[in-house]
Chain A
Amino acid sequence: MLRRTLPLLITFAVGFVLVISKFIPKVETLGEDFSIYFDIIAVFAFILGGGNLVKIHGNKIYRRSEGWGYSLVCIIGFFATLTIGLFKFGNPLGWTGNVVAEGSAFKGIYDFIFKPLGATMFALLAFYVASASYRAFRAKNAEATVLLIAAFVILLGRTFIGKMVSFWVPIDQAGPDIPSFAEWIMNVPNLAGQRAIMIGIALGIVSTSLKLILGIERSYLGADTE
């Protein structure tokens, strides 16, 4: 009862309230309260993520598994950031100030550790996109050729090179040049394809949401042996 039935009842009750809150004004407040509860539980999900991280890497350090030194770096970085942020060390406005106030140690962690690491991780993708384009982007059949041509027009049209290459239209005048063609591709065939995908996804989400609320879809509860 507690392992399967209660969660299904909770899902039904919450989902039902949120759906009817759009139609019955009296239930709107309850719907808002449930949304706020969701936001608060989301923070506990962050805490769960942190706890899980400490559990996994702590285990690696305890067992001296391969690469435990890196796990130590991870744990030190985690607890250092947590302590500095929770106690607002170095915050010019003290305990009551904005946690990311200019000059605070927490802002320093963001500026000099988080930002360079996060930004560079994603910057690496530029290299991999080039390498993947060279190796995998082949005009193997008619459909792939259409894909390639569309990509080329967009790549050309989204820079000044597209304007330069369109010799049939003077550079400083509007006209049927490659950038205009790129815009047309985005606003007509791309829009048509994306809209078809969007409608398909919407129908999928609506049916899945209904199945979840009605308890037909139960995979999120996990295995019965848990």
Chain B
Amino acid sequence: MADTPETTKKTGWYQKVRDIDRRIIFLFIALAVIIPLLLQPSFPEFPAQLVKDTFAEMDKLPEGSKILMAFDYDPASEPELQPMATVWTRHAFENKLKIYIVALWPLGQNMAEDTLNELLKEYPDRKYGVDYVNLGFKSGGQGVINVILTDFAKMYPTDVYNKPLSQIPIMKDVKSIKDMDLIINISAGFPGLKEWVQFGADPAGVRIIGGSTAVQAPLLYPYIPNQLHGLLGGLKAAAEYEELADRKLCGMKCGQDAECIDSCIKEYAKRDKGKVRMGAQAIAHMVIMAFIIIGNITFFIDRRRERKG
């Protein structure tokens, strides 16, 4: 077919779309994230059954139950995992559970300190050494879990403030992770939730729930529900858990008053980082899906042209 001005124009335009500079794609993604952050649209959350089960696993624990919280992530995964750490610590403080904090990542200790500093402003009456203790980071990954499976004090002679465990009241009746009622792990990779299931929860027979990055989450589904009793996979699951926690808190605050519960949930939603970030997440997903569709359209057009000759 001879080239006419029209076909040349179409080809030129088509070529520009097909061979688009990747920096244009980067710009679209940046705008897809920045604009929703500025406009702050909020979307309702409909918690999935897995998130409801995870919430129930935590909520059913009676007051005074012991939970081991392992902070196995770093600032690189903070946007996804910090909302989970915050909502779980808040849930534990609200239900008056005893928290034992450990970390298998060096920066996990910092993430734990940041979480505690934030939540202690909401719950100033929670006492260190009585309601919670921070044992800090130890190197060695699954080696650490293997030791605390039978003896905490052997691996952690002191807490992060260099106080011997024997002098900390909350450690009095705790010899190993077998004395825990629940293990909660917030994990960004290795060592993380997989290792806690394999080397901690399975041998000790202790129930475990976990939060992981969205990248890791599909790999952990085989452990559900017998080995891993709850999983929050990524930011969406964190937002859904925040919704359940807010509904419970607002239900306790407002009783049966539906209007009060609604406005209470809207008020709490402003502090829930998971929910705040989901707006930008949704728009960015749409942009990426649009790029995939455009990419495939150009691919099919090229293939048809090649077949025609």
On whether A and B touch (CB less than 8 Å), the answer reads yes
A159–B22 touching, CB < 8 Å: no
B168 interface hit (Cβ, 8 Å): no
Task: Considering the complex, give the chain B residue whose CB is closest to the CB of A46.
Answer: B139
Binary contact track B271-299/A, C-beta < 8 Å → 1, others 0: 00000001001101111110110111001
A26 interface hit (Cβ, 8 Å): no
B292–A137 touching, CB < 8 Å: yes
B221–A98 touching, CB < 8 Å: no
Most chain A CB within a 10 A radius of its CB, from B26, B45, B50: B26
Name the distance in Å between A78's Cβ and chain B's nearest Cβ: 15
Task: Considering the complex, give the chain B residue whose CB is closest to the CB of A119.
Answer: B75
Q: Report the stretch among B58-66, B85-93, B154-162 that lies at the interface.
A: B154-162
B278–A160 touching, CB < 8 Å: yes
Q: Report the stretch among A4-12, A66-74, A150-158, A213-221 that lies at the interface.
A: A150-158
- Inter-chain contacts of B219 with A (CB < 8 A): 194, 198
B221–A32 touching, CB < 8 Å: no
Which residue from A39, A96, A158 sits with its C-beta under 8 Å from B236?
A158
In chain A between 22 and 59, which residues have their CB closer than 8 angstroms to a CB of chain B? 28, 31-32, 35-36, 38-40, 42-43, 46
A160–B75 touching, CB < 8 Å: no
Which residue from A134, A163, A194 sits with its C-beta under 8 Å from B20?
A134
B139–A39 touching, CB < 8 Å: yes
Task: Considering the complex, give the chain B residue whose CB is closest to the CB of A151.
Answer: B292
A130–B25 touching, CB < 8 Å: yes
B147–A138 touching, CB < 8 Å: no
A39–B143 touching, CB < 8 Å: yes
A79 interface hit (Cβ, 8 Å): no
Q: Chain A interface residue count: which class? A: 35 or more
Task: Considering the complex, give the chain B residue whose CB is closest to the CB of A136.
Answer: B295
A42–B288 touching, CB < 8 Å: no
Task: Considering the complex, give the chain B residue whose CB is closest to the CB of A145.
Answer: B296
Which residue from B154, B282, B292 sits with its C-beta under 8 Å from A32?
B154
A118–B74 touching, CB < 8 Å: yes
Q: How many angstroms between the C-alpha atoms of A139 and B299 in the bound complex? A: 9
Name the distance in Å between A109's Cβ and chain B's nearest Cβ: 11
Q: How many angstroms between the C-alpha atoms of A118 and B76 in the bound complex? A: 5
Q: Report whether over half of chain A's contact residues are helix, strand or loop; otherwise say mixed.
A: helix
Q: Report the stretch among B3-11, B106-114, B248-256, B261-269 that lies at the interface.
A: B106-114
- Inter-chain contacts of B46 with A (CB < 8 A): 163, 174, 179
Name the distance in Å between A223's Cβ and chain B's nearest Cβ: 28
- Inter-chain contacts of A20 with B (CB < 8 A): none
Contacts A39-B138, A163-B46, A187-B221 given: A32-B76 contact, CB under 8 Å?
no
B35 interface hit (Cβ, 8 Å): no
Task: Considering the complex, give the chain A residue whose CB is closest to the CB of B236.
Answer: A158
Name the distance in Å between B148's Cβ and chain A's nearest Cβ: 9
- Inter-chain contacts of A225 with B (CB < 8 A): none
A194–B278 touching, CB < 8 Å: no
Q: How many angstroms between the C-alpha atoms of A187 and B26 in the bound complex? A: 33
Name the distance in Å between B80's Cβ and chain A's nearest Cβ: 10
A96–B162 touching, CB < 8 Å: yes
Name the distance in Å between B256's Cβ and chain A's nearest Cβ: 19
Q: How many angstroms between the C-alpha atoms of A53 and B147 in the bound complex? A: 31
Q: How many angstroms between the C-alpha atoms of A160 and B78 in the bound complex? A: 23
Binary contact track A65-89/B, C-beta < 8 Å → 1, others 0: 0000000000000000000000000
Name the distance in Å between A61's Cβ and chain B's nearest Cβ: 27
- Inter-chain contacts of A39 with B (CB < 8 A): 138-140, 143-144, 147, 155
Task: Considering the complex, give the chain A residue whose CB is closest to the CB of B233.
Answer: A186
Contacts A127-B26, A160-B282 given: A42-B143 contact, CB under 8 Å?
yes
Name the distance in Å between B281's Cβ and chain A's nearest Cβ: 6
Task: Considering the complex, give the chain B residue whose CB is closest to the CB of A120.
Answer: B76
Contacts A35-B146, A46-B139, A191-B221 given: A152-B78 contact, CB under 8 Å?
no
- B contact set with A: CB distance below 8 Å: 20, 22, 25-26, 28-30, 33, 43-46, 48-50, 74-79, 107, 109-110, 113, 117, 136, 138-141, 143-144, 146-147, 150-151, 154-155, 160-162, 218-219, 221-222, 224, 234, 236, 278, 281-282, 284-289, 291-292, 294-296, 299
